[in-house]
Amino acid sequence: MSELHALFGGTFDPVHFGHLRPVEALAQQIGLARVLLLPNNVPPHRPQPEASSTQRLEMLRCAIRDRPLFDIDTRELRRETPSWTVATLEELRAERGPQQPLGFIIGQDSLLSLSGWHRWQDLLSLCHLLVCKRPGYAAEMASPEMQHWLDAHLADAPQQLHQQPAGLIWLADTPLVAISATEIRQRRHQGLSCAHLLPPAVIDYIDQAGLYLK
């Protein structure tokens, strides 16, 4: 059986400890061999990130320099158009073959809004969903139907995530990290320190590039 790998998608404007620490704990807990950070291409009709695609990618590179668990997958950034998560997962599944166990990592906030994702019902045919805790978000799904769907797919033990390629949901017992990229951008706008919120190498890059100052 091949190793369990996972993707972790986001805007990463900027990447912060709320992304990195829960995922590092998750990796330890379930034995993830590799996490591919997947920065997304933001659709033109949606509010644009303050940092450019190149800058968001560069910040990820700074963040993972001394974190061997992580790598970066730039496929969504390289495309002209935004991609649905399900389409990216289909591509990855085709590359890796049907047997490799694959996870897609999300925070609790993303789990709660999952029913709004394009073809969300197809996600579990392609990967496991690995859910990190996030403070301030309900533990229960908003509707009984979604709660039923969640309960029906819960994994009981991490070994199951290695034994089958997709189809399970793991609610990880990860540390609660009360950080958001929005808070970081706001603190920067106000001239406040962000030293405790993201890796020093990312802060250095933000300072050099003059990001989030307006």
Q: What is the x/- site pattern for ligand ATP, positions 48-87, by CB under 6 A?
A: ----------------------------------------
Cβ–Cβ < 8 Å for 41, 10: no
**Binding window for ligand ATP (CB under 6 A); candidates: 7-15, 57-65, 90-98, 163-171:** 7-15
Query: Is 11 near ligand ATP (CB under 6 A)?
Result: yes
Integer Cα distance of 24 and 35 in angstroms: 9
Query: Is 182 near ligand ATP (CB under 6 A)?
Result: yes
Integer Cα distance of 175 and 157 in angstroms: 19
Site for ligand ATP in 96-155 (CB under 6 A): 106-107, 109-110, 132, 134
- Count of positions on this chain that bind ligand ATP (CB under 6 A): 18
Q: What share of the chain is helix, strand, coil (3-state, %, to 5)?
A: 45, 15, 45
Cβ–Cβ < 8 Å for 197, 15: no
Query: Is 14 near ligand ATP (CB under 6 A)?
Result: no
Decide whether 60 or 161 has the Cβ nearer to ligand ATP: 60
**Tally of CB atoms within 10 A around 78:** 9
Decide whether 62 or 181 has the Cβ nearer to ligand ATP: 181
| Length of the chain counted residue by residue | 214
Contacting residue, 20, 166, 179, 194, with ligand ATP by CB under 6 A: 179
Q: Could you tell me which residues are beta bridge partners of residue 7?
A: 36, 104
Provide the pairing of β-strand 34-39 with 102-107. unpaired
Residues within the interface to ligand ATP (CB under 6 A): 10-13, 18-19, 22, 106-107, 109-110, 132, 134, 177, 179-182
